[in-house]
Amino acid sequence: MNILVMSASPNREGLTAACAAAAVEGVLQAGGHAEEIRLNDLHIGRCQACDNGWGKCLNDHECQTQDDFQSLHARVRQADAYVIVTPVYWGEPSESAKAFLDRLRRCEAPRENESSLFGKPVIAVAAAGGSGNGTVTCLLSMERWAQHVRARVFDLLPVNRWSREYKLAAIRAAAQAMVGETIR
């Protein structure tokens, strides 16, 4: 049981990092294997909208912009389930989350029920460390993404500075439940 825990903040010790660590703990407690990936440590540029809007992604389901996307895409294919933790920037996922998720969607959404993520569970976490505003719009965008790639939304979790402690426990519990369900 291989769970990819992807986080998308430049900050190694902030709220996003704490949420990702809680998810890893939950996975391990349930007997799963957690692979942690910090998207900000990788070189994954934005989609170039090749040709007239679609490039190789439409029919070959590969991205023609060569960077760290390809190796992470391979790990996504291998994984059984996903946790995606993003800081909330302007009520949206962060730039590193958007760059990766946009390109992955372009490769996988056209495959419909053959998508590498088809039916696989996803937990999305929106960590808002400022005003606390914008978690709902951020999660809405992540939910729509999950639907486009035909993943199954296992849970959507908003976190802010005030809810931090009990939400970290909820993230741990959600990851544990997701692994428990996938193993059964």
Q: Which residues make up the interface to ligand FMN (CB under 6 A)?
A: 9, 11, 14-17, 87-91, 127-134
Q: Is there a contact between 64 and 55 (Cβ–Cβ < 8 Å)? A: yes
Q: Which is nearer to ligand FMN, 86 or 116 (CB)?
A: 86
Q: Which is nearer to ligand FMN, 11 or 71 (CB)?
A: 11
Q: Which is nearer to ligand FMN, 55 or 93 (CB)?
A: 93
- Phi and psi angles of residue 126, each rounded to the nearest 5 degrees, phi first: -110, 115
State the minimum distance, in angstroms, from the CB of residue 13 to ligand FMN. 8
State the minimum distance, in angstroms, from the CB of residue 136 to ligand FMN. 11
State the minimum distance, in angstroms, from the CB of residue 88 to ligand FMN. 4
Q: Which is nearer to ligand FMN, 30 or 39 (CB)?
A: 39
Q: Is there a contact between 113 and 150 (Cβ–Cβ < 8 Å)? A: yes
Q: How far apart are CA 116 and CA 175, in angstroms?
A: 20
Using Cβ positions, the residue closest to ligand FMN within the complex turns out to be 129
State the minimum distance, in angstroms, from the CB of residue 57 to ligand FMN. 28
Q: Which is nearer to ligand FMN, 128 or 146 (CB)?
A: 128
Enter the tokens of residue 99. 């760059």
State the minimum distance, in angstroms, from the CB of residue 73 to ligand FMN. 24
Q: Is there a contact between 159 and 83 (Cβ–Cβ < 8 Å)? A: no
